[in-house]
A and B are shown apart, each in its own frame.
Chain A
């Protein structure tokens, strides 16, 4: 098993669809993160979870809804998205939230909103 696994790798959805991104880490880490990567822009931190409790929501629109049922799993529920939400969504984990610089990333979920 690779360290951080994301599914699906690619997702195309209409603006009225509801879909979810899944992330699973096999590293025994306690902190998990969602990042958004758009072309020509720095990575944007979206959400932080520490011991499955949300510790940061970086002003993310409510059409993105995270869920962290345990320290190993993280979801991003998507509904009524906009075309500008098309991007690569990266999940990451770290041993502790205070070691947020030492991140282990998944390969990402490429989202296209039509």
Chain B
């Protein structure tokens, strides 16, 4: 079985500050990892994904994430956030023969002026 823990339910930051949204996963098989973003009143959009290869993956809108197998983490980072980054961010995992996604509960990122 797989599980995802997003350690912070809410993260408030000021505009132009760096941000890190934390995600830990549990799985007994090799994993694929994903971050999705949900802007207000919209569906989810794929932000970035780790399937294999380089552990540092870059996504849209200046976000990046690093896969750390020893710490079973896949934290999302952005060096300087904008007001428009205010949204809910979901970490998700799939792996092995279980191709379906298991989502975390989400982290609400609020960027204040």
Binding site for B on A (CB under 8 A): 4, 6, 40-43, 45, 48, 56, 90, 92, 97-108
Do B43 and A101 have beta carbons less than 8 Å apart? no
Q: Mark B22-59, 1 if CB is under 8 A from A, else 0.
A: 00000000001010100001111110010000000000
Write out the residue numbers on chain A whose beta carbons fall within 8 Å of the beta carbon of B103.
42-43
Q: From known contacts A41-B105, A42-B105, A43-B90, infer whether A98 and B99 are also in contact, taking CB-CB under 8 Å.
A: yes
The answer to whether B101 and A45 have CB atoms under 8 Å apart is yes
Cβ-closest chain B residue relative to A99 = B99
- Docked complex Cα distance between A56 and B98 (Å): 12
Closest to A9 in B: B41
Interface residues on B, range: 20 to 34
Judge whether A107 and B42 touch: CB under 8 Å. Answer: yes
Instruction: Please list the residues of chain B having a beta carbon within 8 angstroms of any beta carbon in chain A.
Output: 4, 32, 34, 36, 41-46, 49, 90, 92, 94, 99-106
Q: Which residues of chain A are near B99, meaning CB under 8 Å? A: 97-101
8 further contact pairs, Cβ within 8 A, besides A99-B99, A102-B49, A108-B42:
A42-B103, A42-B104, A43-B90, A43-B103, A48-B100, A90-B43, A102-B46, A103-B46
A101 to B100, CA, bound (A): 7
In contact, B43 and A100 (Cβ under 8 angstroms): no
